[in-house]
Structures are given as C-alpha cells and as structure tokens.
Structure 1
C-alpha cells in the first residue's frame, strides 16, 4: 500500500518510503487544533463536540488535558510557551498561564461578541492572529447555538490588547499560517453553513505594521477543503484536504499528497526535530515521519 501520491519529483525528497501513516488514537467525534509541546514531549489537541482537550504522549498514550474545554478548537503557543486556545463555548481566545490559570485575551470586537474563534497563530512580535467564522454558534454540536453579532473576519490582537479586523472579505475564514519570514499570511476560506462552500487558500502580504494587502488565490483544494495547515522551514504549506494532506510549494503548486483514511481537519509538526507530522482526522489522531522540519510554534 502506498501512502503517497507524487505530482512533482521534488516531493520524493520529503517522504520516506518506509515511514507509514500510523493511527495513534481514536474515538473522537471531531478532532482538531493539534499543537506540539516539545519541552513537555507531548501533543495537545481538541475533541470539539465532546467538549474536551486531550494529551498524547509517546510511550504513555492518551490522557485528558482539560474537560470541559469550553468547546475548544484551534491551539498554538506564544513566544513564552503558553497555550493559546480558540474557544467556541465562550466565543473567545484564551491563554493558559504557566501556573495553569486561564486568561481571557479577547471575546469582543467594537462592543459585540465574537462568533466562534477557530484557528490561531502568534507572530514573532507577540501579536495573536485568529479567524472568527460562525461554525461554533451555528448549532449546538460544537458550542452553543447563538445569534451572530459580527461578520466572519480575520483579526489581529496586538500585545497591548488592541484588536483590529485585518481581513473582512471572507465567507468563513478558517485555518491560517505565516510563511517562515512572516511576510505572507495564508488563510483558508471554507464557506458559510448551508451555502455553497469555497475550498481555497488565499495569500496576503504582511506589512511591518501588521496590515494586509493582496489576498489573491493561492490554491484551490480538491477534494474537500483546506481547514488547518502548517508551513515547513522551506516555506512549503502542508494542508488538510478531503483525502489526506496536500503539500504545496510557496508558489501554490500541489507537488504531493499523503493519504489518510479519514477526513483531515488539521495538522502540526512535532517530535524531537519537528520532523513528525501529527494529523487530526475526524475520529482519529495520526502521524507520519517526514524528511522535513516544521516551523516552530512555541
């Protein structure tokens, strides 16, 4: 059985013929938001409908990290190593402090409640960028069905606590990631519930003061959607898709696929050299070892 499909010979350098896709755990309803904690040697991820966050540790397996989790979705780390989480239930972005306490960073914009923050990245200047689609308030499955007070935007939360909408022309922005030098921001658009869904990734130029320009089409995912994605040290984007993980060049070309037996939601790099790809895929957690190193998400 082949775990790969190669569209460009360059992709053969990225994968290892004797490194399979392995299932690490199962039994979830919609696994999401994986983030690697290298200092603790573990992976944290969300199981949104079951209102919990889980920890997977090599040699020990699966344990509960937080339950209830306020229907947590996307996760990352800031430059101090603290966990940053998007919560559907509280319609907020939170930070888990080093002592375990939880701080609400933002839950409103211009006096109105956010929708359901989905995915999040932290820039080198400490600014927190996140997407705010309506998925967590559209039903009671991944949060609490509620009135939508704001359009679905991409936001930047500055270290001083000020917030601004930086991209306002999305149907429903979803996954996001920076290029290695943070001069480009990739954002997925997965469409509104009940409407025709886009399945593309857009790319923006990022100015030194954190403003975006451009926003043209980077890549159209098929089959499925680009939900979550991450970038390796050479700028290749590894995206979730309907049949697994797609590897895209910095100019948006599909050069290879990794097949996963379930619909993939998100992924991250981890392991001792950030050379393992951890994949959340509907009911399961998977991994594959690559000949690639991912960008560090602290």
Structure 2
C-alpha cells in the first residue's frame, strides 16, 4: 500500500459513510487497449462506487457474503454488502495503543484461513493476527528470530497451505526504513509453513501486493515504487523460488504505484498501478486499464468470482467481469 496522502477536506469532512448510487462514477471508466480485453470485461461495463467517506481503503476480501476491507489511516476494519450498507467490524484494528492520527497504523491485508477465521495484517502492531467468528483477535506472527516485523501488508495462501506475506516499512511512520523502531535489515517476502517463518525474497525495496497464478507455479510480487514493478518468480518444491523476471514496469506520471494485485482463472493479472488498475496477460501485455478518480490501493474478486471490488482512497468501487477471478485458497 502507498502511504496515505492528503485528501481535500471537502471529500472527507464530515466523515459520512454511505452507499453511492449504482451508476458510472465521474472519471471512472474502462479503457480497452487490446481486443482480448472484451473476453474479460464486457464492452460498456460500468464502474460503480459502492460506498465512500473513508480515510484510506485497503485489503479487500469477500468473506461470508460481504466485502471486508481495511481503513488504514482510519484504523478500522469494516464490511460492506452488495447494496452498499457499511458495518464497522473492529475499531482500533491496527492494534496500536494511542495511534497517531492519519498515519499508516491500521489494518491492511486480509485472507481467510482453513478454519473460517480471517488472518489480518496489523500495520501498527507490526504483526499478523487471527480474527475469529466472534471478532476476537489472536496474535499469529510478530517477529522473525526475535526481531520485530516491519509492518505486514498483503497475504496469500499457496496450494500447499503455506502462508506468504509482504513486509514493507509503511507502518513505521517515523521515516519507514529510517525509523529507529525498524529491526529487520530488509523488507522481505516471508513464507510461513509448519510453524517456520522464512524470508524468501529480501532484495525488493517496498514489497507490496502478492499472488499466485492459477496453477500455483508462478508467484507475482509488486515492488511499490512509485511507479513500481511487478516481478514474477517460478515456484518450486517447498516454496523455492527461481527465475525472477519483470512482468511489467509501470510508467511514471499518474498518481499511485504498484500496490495490490489479483489473478483471474485465465492467468491474467489485475494490478493497481499509476492511474488505476492494469489488466495484464501472463506474458506481460497490458490488455486494458480501469481508470478511477481516486488512487487505487488494492482489489479482490467477490461473490461468484465475477465481481471485482476495488479499494481506492476514500471509496470502494466494483465492476462486473466476464472472467472469474481466482478466489483465496480457503475462501467461503
């Protein structure tokens, strides 16, 4: 996720959470760059704003019939249903006592676990926790060999049940890598399996979004930038990685950077980048772009997999898709 930016007071004050009319939003549109996009998004499909009035939205997850999402600088975990009705699930969801206002200290990435609970990245508390059915929070991972994590960001389960997550320094709000509270010498991608935590990638500057191809043989990781890069890795036995290569290097210019990503069942990558969401083939060709009036941070497929939800600054947007997205390993 990028660091929250200052938004004009007229957009957020007073803070009013509400559903938006299901119509094309000003400035939101789908740009077709290649004919192949028509098989993924129907020509004329509209981008709807589902709800708005938040501080900085992130970490979307379709769970039990609603979209759960994080408000990073608002320090709240919320859910919104298909009609746009918003519910606050957990206040102070970043887990930091007396959090400083406006900083990246709230919750972030969310992923369902096999028992029906949800794992949540807490940027303030610098750990991954479990959210039970009663919304009780239990710590799961907080350090590597006695050194505290930076601020876990995005999470994904692999086919073998291993948990992978990115750990950039966005939650270290006193200078990120220069923050005196930083303990690890790198910003890693970690793999957690069999009770063992392993840093599997340590050479990225700001690892952020993460996801697997439908056959689980390729791992995609974004390095935020801006403007940022998405790297692809070949996944071997036991999570061993090889063949690091650039899937796409984003052009500079528009606001935003390489943040969250998801993959559809045909292997295309849907990724946030400057100016909105890129739809990218496995070969790295940009098929189209979803342009938004706000900076997009993350996205998730919901429902039957044919609805794409996008968390973008103060709002949550959605778009119907022809192709189904790959749902999380333990989705329900």
Fold-level similarity (TM above 0.5) = yes
Structure 2 unaligned regions, length at least 5: 1-26, 95-105
Counterpart check, 1:135 vs 2:170: yes
* Cα separation, 2, equivalents of 1:65 and 1:242: 30
Counterpart check, 1:293 vs 2:324: yes
Give per-residue Cα distances to partners, 1:114-164, cap 9 Å, x unaligned.
000011101122211000000101349x9xx75111110100011x21100
Give per-residue Cα distances to partners, 1:207-238, cap 9 Å, x unaligned.
12111112221111234422001000111000
| 8 Å contact kept, 2:224–2:259 | yes
Counterpart check, 1:185 vs 2:211: no
* Superposed counterparts of 1:1-298, under 5 Å: 3-37=29-63, 40-59=64-83, 61-70=85-94, 71-139=106-174, 147-150=181-184, 151-158=186-193, 160-191=194-225, 197=226, 199-222=228-251, 223=254, 224-271=256-303, 273-297=304-328, 298=331
Structure 1 unaligned regions, length at least 5: 192-196
Secondary structure, in 3 states, of the residue corresponding to 2:128?
strand
| 8 Å contact kept, 1:117–1:132 | yes
* Cα separation, 1, equivalents of 2:289 and 2:263: 15
Give per-residue Cα distances to partners, 1:30-61, cap 9 Å, x unaligned.
10000001xx2100000011100110012361
| 8 Å contact kept, 2:127–2:151 | yes
Secondary structure, in 3 states, of the residue corresponding to 1:69?
coil
* Cα separation, 1, equivalents of 2:298 and 2:260: 4
| 8 Å contact kept, 1:78–1:126 | no
Offset, 1:95:
1.5
| 8 Å contact kept, 1:114–1:132 | yes
Change (3 A) 1:280 1:139: farther
Secondary structure, in 3 states, of the residue corresponding to 2:238?
coil
* Cα separation, 2, equivalents of 1:157 and 1:185: 15
| 8 Å contact kept, 2:123–2:171 | yes
* Length-normalised TM-score, structure 2: 0.82
Offset, 1:198:
5.5
